Structure 1
Amino acid sequence: MGMTPGLLPLLQSISANRDDKRSLADFSASAGMPKYTLHRRFKRLLGETPKQYDLRLRLEHAAMLLATTARPVLAIALEVGFESHEGFTRAFRRMFDCPPAHFRARLKTQVNEDSRRRGAGLEHSVGPCLRLYGIRPRSGQERSEMPTSEITLRKVERQPILFVRRRVSRTQLQPLFAECFPKIFQHCIASGIAIAGQPMARYVETGHGLWTIDSAIPVAVDAPSAGEIEAGEIQPGPVALAVHHGAYETLGETHAAIELWIEDSDHRAEGAPWESYVTSPAEYPDIADWRTEVFWPLVDETGRGVAP
């Protein structure tokens, strides 16, 4: 599914103005397309309408303000574009299953304040683009001539994650991420779990048929599993790392380049490779600016150890 010209600038605008409630006509003018065309294309791409997307970001922003400030609920409601305490409370309850005051009180008893503040900035930047990972450029959009940066040997530290594991075909990656990343993100916000990095995809098993994929979000501290959202970790150790430039559909070229690099090294691959989506598609309308870090865990076959 391609990204229609005009939609990414609109996503940028909505993300940057979470204190401003706007109409479909306003969105139509920003995107430069008729209202009903915008509504249809937006819903097809993100799984929600422009107004639903706008409301979700404003409520998530309100949740961050409730978690990290002592500002009155009414002041927060007005800041995120609601005209009354009552309207804000109804909308907030529908998304988070509790009124704003109870949400704030619960986080104070469950979550360390420093953890809440550390995650607030990342949650603000990650939230707008969770349904966009895996999108393909429309025909005619520029493709990077050199999608893979220099491959380097690194050592990663242990990183707690929350993830949802699914078996899907390769063609279903974008719908998978569009479903699972927001589910984990909303769980983190509702539970007061501080996010510690950009969304990730871990390739547990690949082949000609179904792939086993972990859609994951790094978190600041170990958190319990909750239903299909499982607790896990990125294990510490050596990795081969490359930065992929451009569209997600060419990520296979970067994975292949890393595999060739490993074959020529004194290491062998062991464990599931993963991707970290460094740049937000909602913040970078030019696909050539997108960056994805690709990691392959390694074992040193010489027994000499691994450079830091």
Structure 2
Amino acid sequence: MSAETRKEWQRRIMRAMRAMEARLDEEWRLDDIAREAHFSPYHFHRIFTGMTGESVGAYLRRLRLARAAHRLAYGDRPVTEVALAAGFEAPEAFTRAFRAAYGMPPSVWREEFREQTRPRDLTELLPPVTREEPMMELAVTIKRVPPLRVALVRHVGPYDRCEAAWEKLCGMAGRLGLFGPDTRFIGVGHDDPRITPPEKIRYDACLTVPEGYAGTPDLPVAVIGDGDYATAVVKGPYTNLGPAYAWLCGVWGPDSGREFAAGPSMEVYLNDPKTTPPGELLTEIRVPLEPKA
């Protein structure tokens, strides 16, 4: 297989993966997934497994279990309801699969996760280098975020190693003339690092694009947002974002009267890290909320 052919196949596999991520509740048939990637269903399962290291079924199961773990950690739905939403007809089957993935039953996971993320003060979470700074105070606002058209580059791996994705995104966007005065730079984190292994974490480096841009194979377009989000502006280095998410979810969340949705969070980078001192960086974090009852 030539390098260009391999690159094209990787793009097609990524299209299929994004389709499954976007419609995780659907009952996917192999033929439908293969059609998303423009592969023959006869060979698609082997192609997917060979290129990703997971079978299609294992990939869907892992994402659904990760979403279930998120719902258990940050919501109050009964375990049986979470199991049904994850595609399991019987709670016993869900418990077996969950234990195999996370080493404990779902009810124990919920208790232990909440116990580990129950800080009453953000200073408990800040790394030592920042504790001498004034404690950040997060003012949380619930916003309705409209649908946003973005061009994106996918990074798979730890969140703190996503620089190459941004360099690729900005390089291609510059050549295509996509930058404008209203361009926004947004990171979309699909996975909670407390739930997903570091090497499996998915992150999309995104920038908003004008309506006239339809995307290219190397720089596709997606729609993000379109819902209620709990938002807060975090000042300081990006190492503050993990503690800020923990504060928003573990301290603000229980008293908010709202429940977090099992969708990806967003980070809107309000200034340029290349020209802004780390202590002056501003990042708006956005965590999705379930629709108000």
- Structure number with higher relative contact order (C-alpha < 8 Å, ≥ 6 residues apart): 1
TM-score w.r.t. length of structure 1: 0.47
TM-score w.r.t. length of structure 2: 0.49
